[in-house]
Amino acid sequence: MPLRTRHRSPVVTAGLSALVAATTLTAAPPAAGSPRAATPPAATADTWTEVGSDRADPLTESQGLASIEVPANSANRYTGIGTIPVEVRARGWNHVGDPDASYDGHYIEPYQRDSGDSKMFRVQAPNGEWAEYTHALGPDEALNNSWVAISPDGQWMLSGEYGTMNRLLVFPTPGVNPATAPDADLPQVATVRLDRPVRDVQGCDFADATTLLCSSDDPEGALFGITKPLLRIDLSAPPSGAEDVSGAVTALRQLPLRSGCAGEFEAQGIDYDRRSGTLRVIVMSPSVCVLVDSVTYRFTRS
C-alpha cells in the first residue's frame, strides 16, 4: 500500500527500469535477521509463530490477500498494482488495498484515487458479477482506503485510514447488507474507538466476532516499542450500525523483516483463514529486493 502520504507500493517507486533490471538480478540469500530488529513486546496469551512463507510477486501480490470459503477449494486471492483492471484505472482508481471476503462468498476490494472526495469498494458477488459502491468522505476522513475487513455475520465492513489514527470506520457491507446499493452513497454508520493510537495499518481481518488481527507498517516503533507490529484489537462488542464500539489494542510481535537488501521494509495486507487457523501477512522487501525476495509469511497460534 502507498508509502506515507500516497500510500503506494515500492513497486511503483521502483519504476519500469527496476522491473527490466530484475530480469538479470540474482536474489541474495535472506539475511539472518532484520536490519531494524527490535526487542519484541512482552509475551501475551495470543502468540503467533511463523511456520512458513511464500514468495510474494511484487506486481500481483504486493497489497493484500483474502482466503475464499465459497465456493469450496477456492484459491487465495491477492491484490497488487497489476491486478487493477484497465478500465478501473482509467477512471482514476489507481490504488487497490487489502481485500476481504464474506463467509457467503462476496469478495471486496478497496480503491482510492490521488485526489477527490470519495473512495470506492469493488464487490464481486458469488455469481461472478462485479459492482462498485462509492463512499463520500466525511468532514475529517482521510482519502486513503487501505483495507477492508468483513464481520463474521457478513453484515458490517470495517475500513481504515493511513497515518496515525485512533479509530476504525464501520460501513454496512456493500452487496451483502440489504441497506446498500451501487447507485447510492455507502454511508459510514459507526466507529470503532481505539484505546490507543495505531500507525499505518495496512490490513485487518476478523479472527472471531470481536477480535481483529492487523498488520501495521509503523516505521518508527514509538507506539509499541517495535516497528512493523502485528496487532490484536479486542472489540467491546461485535460491530453494528447501531452504535460505536471500543477497541483495545495489543502489539503481539514484530513481523519478520528478512531480505538480501538492507533498508525499509513495507508491511502489507493480512488474512486469517478460519478453516485452517492460518494467519498470512505480506512483507515487501527493501530496494530492488522488492522484486526477488518479498514474502507472504504464514503463522499459527501457539
CATH number, domain with residue 138: 2.120.10
State residue 44's pLDDT score: 54
Tally the residues of the chain. 302
- Is 205 within 8 Å of 277 (Cβ atoms)? no
Residue 279 lies in a domain: yes
Residue 91 lies in a domain: yes
Residue 141 lies in a domain: yes
Is residue 82 helix, strand or coil? helix
State residue 18's pLDDT score: 41
Contacts of 73 (CB under 8 A, 6+ apart): none
Q: Side-chain half-sphere of 70: how many Cα atoms within 13 Å?
A: 12
Residue 34 lies in a domain: no
Amino acid 8 reads R
Contacts of 108 (CB under 8 A, 6+ apart): 99, 100, 101, 102, 121, 122, 123, 124, 148, 150, 157, 173, 174, 175
Domain range enclosing 193: 10-26+39-301
Residue 241 lies in a domain: yes
- Is 252 within 8 Å of 44 (Cβ atoms)? yes
Print pLDDT tens along the chain (302 aa).
Answer: 443 333 444 343 443 334 333 333 333 333 333 333 333 444 456 899 999 999 999 999 999 999 999 988 899 999 999 999 999 999 999 999 999 999 999 999 999 999 999 999 999 999 999 999 999 999 999 999 999 999 999 999 999 999 999 999 999 999 999 999 999 999 999 999 999 999 999 999 999 999 999 999 999 999 999 999 999 999 999 999 999 999 999 999 999 999 999 999 999 999 999 999 999 999 999 999 999 999 999 999 98
Report the b/e string of 108-123 with b at 16+ CB within 10 A. bbbbbbeeeeebbbbb
Shortest CA distance to 161 belongs to which of 135, 218, 123, 199?
199
Residue 33 lies in a domain: no
Q: Which three cell numbers stand for residue 292?
A: 526477488
Give the total number of structural domains in the chain.
1
Residue 31 lies in a domain: no
Residue 21 lies in a domain: yes
What is the distance between the alpha carbons of residues 131 and 224, in angstroms, rounded to a whole number? 39
Shortest CA distance to 59 belongs to which of 76, 94, 83, 77?
83
